[in-house]
Amino acid sequence: MRTWLLVLVFLGPALPASAQERITQPQPPIFRLDVRVVQVDAQVVSKKTRHAAQALKQDDFEIYEDNVRQQVSSFSQDTLPLSVVLLFDLTDSVRPVLKSLAEGALVALQHLKAEDEVTVMVYAASAQVLQEATTDRALAVAAIEKASHMESEEAAFFNEGIFQAAEQLTKGKSPSSRRVII
């Protein structure tokens, strides 16, 4: 049986002195930061008139996070489009008023801007999309009409309905839209 012995002898620097200095010099720490723009929707109502305040400016708002004032980088008043999910409950308790809820949804459609998207969903034990996000009001109206005639014998899982509606909002065509579930 042979045994091998390997001996390494360090005879001097393998790197030039300048490269050695760079290696031994402490490197400054590297900080990585993930920055997001957070959109904050606000409605300011007058205590006296109970109407929405008009003519507000960016300087009228102060935003704080953890008691630290944040810079408001952009400001707009009702200029971003809406992505709306109309979510209808199909359970027995809602069935008597489902048609009037659908009528209210049809009225609400009339107040939306042309660029606002509408998704129509129903839920009981699970959620179902009747109409994907669309700006075509005729498609939205047809889906609302369909929802107003649907029934379910299943129990309602409200949280699942809301969760699925929120998921649907992420699929809209306008990523900067204001998102609403009704």
**More confident: 9 or 73:** 73
Q: What is the pLDDT of residue 152?
A: 87
Helix H or strand E segment including 129: strand 127-134
Fold of 82-181: Rossmann fold (3.40.50)
Average pLDDT over residues 126-145: 94
* Rounded Cα gap, residues 97 and 108, in angstroms: 17
* φ/ψ of residue 140, rounded to 5: -65, -45
Per the prediction, the chain carries an average pLDDT of 83
pLDDT band at 165 (very low <50, low <70, confident <90, very high): very high
Question: What's the predicted TM-score (pTM) here?
Answer: 0.64
20 has pLDDT over 60: no
**Ranges of each domain in the chain:** 82-181
Q: What is the pLDDT of residue 43?
A: 82
Phi-psi region of 145 (alpha: psi -120 to 50; beta: other; left: phi over 0): alpha
* Rounded Cα gap, residues 160 and 158, in angstroms: 5
22 has pLDDT over 60: no
**Could you give the percent of the chain with pLDDT greater than 90?**
40
Whether the CA torsion 109, 110, 112, 114 is positive or negative: it is positive
Predicted confidence (pLDDT) per residue in 97-129, tens digit: 989 999 999 998 998 999 999 999 999 988 999
**Nearest-10 crossing angle of helices 137-148, 98-109:** 170
pLDDT band at 14 (very low <50, low <70, confident <90, very high): low
**SS3 state of residue 145:** helix
74 has pLDDT over 50: yes
CA atoms within 13 A on the CB side of 53: 12
Q: What is the pLDDT of residue 181?
A: 92
169 has pLDDT over 80: yes
Average pLDDT over residues 139-166: 91
